[in-house]
Structure 1
Amino acid sequence: MGTFTEKQEALVRNSWEELKQNFAHHSLHFFTLILEIAPATKNMFSFLRDYDEIPRNNTMLQIHALKVFELTCESAIQLREKRIVIADTTLNYLGSIHIHKGVTDLHFEVVKEALLKTIKEAVGDKWSEELSNAWEVAYDELAAAIKKAMRESPSSA
């Protein structure tokens, strides 16, 4: 991984602001994409398990999507400081919950694909390879931190 530049940070921040303009729509789209790419993941989300379709105004879905976007954005901004500074308790929790749900590397890739497609839709003609690369670096760094927490989690033993 190269250095996360000031320009990449600005790209992530600006597109995050655009995502927040219509967050309910984008969070729904994000989870729809995850389920289109990997339908079996539906059972990993307690707030989706009992529905045939994604519930349009499900608060838990919107909160979860917001957390994913926020953590990725925060991680991106912290990359310029050369390390992820998400609280250890948060990472420990994410590690244990991801183990409990049976999350694999493939799931991280599915979420990444859905995330990038959602951002692409949100920013429209501002989408570029440069913006995609910035979000990919940010997401990969967050995923690496969560995977590390998964490996170190007492529940992985």
Structure 2
Amino acid sequence: MTERDWWIVEAGTVGEVVGAEALYDGPARREWAERFLASPGHHLLLARAGDAEGPVGMVTGVELTHPDKGTEMFLYELGVAASHRRRGIGRGLVDALAELARANGCYGMWVAVDADNEPALATYAAAGGRTEGPPCEVPLWHFDRRP
């Protein structure tokens, strides 16, 4: 087994958040990055590698608290650069977010994933996640505030 050539850090600056935009679904905005960092319970973990200048992976998590359940971690988004897949980075990011959730007193962690997204399902299973029950529907509301 070879030594890992990547490591994980938590983003703490707007520059780090915006600098990971190649891993997001679209471009990052500074004002949204500022709001993200200022919001308690919002986390962005970045994977960095010795052979890359910018981050090669990211996971975002949001702590959600409900009056009758306590606090859980919602794994909002996971992404790994195509050039760095199949190195365990995705699983490492999920493991690191789960560790952060435990350290912050969360009772569990969950994620919504498309039933046909086999790479994501395999990553979550490898990190100890298990699917419970039949697939669920995800109703969405779209408001006119997002570009």
Q: Please, what TM-score do these two structures have when normalized by structure 2?
A: 0.35
Larger relative helix fraction:
1
Q: Please, what TM-score do these two structures have when normalized by structure 1?
A: 0.34
Larger relative strand fraction:
2
Where relative contact order (Cα < 8 A, 6+ residues apart) is larger, the structure is 1
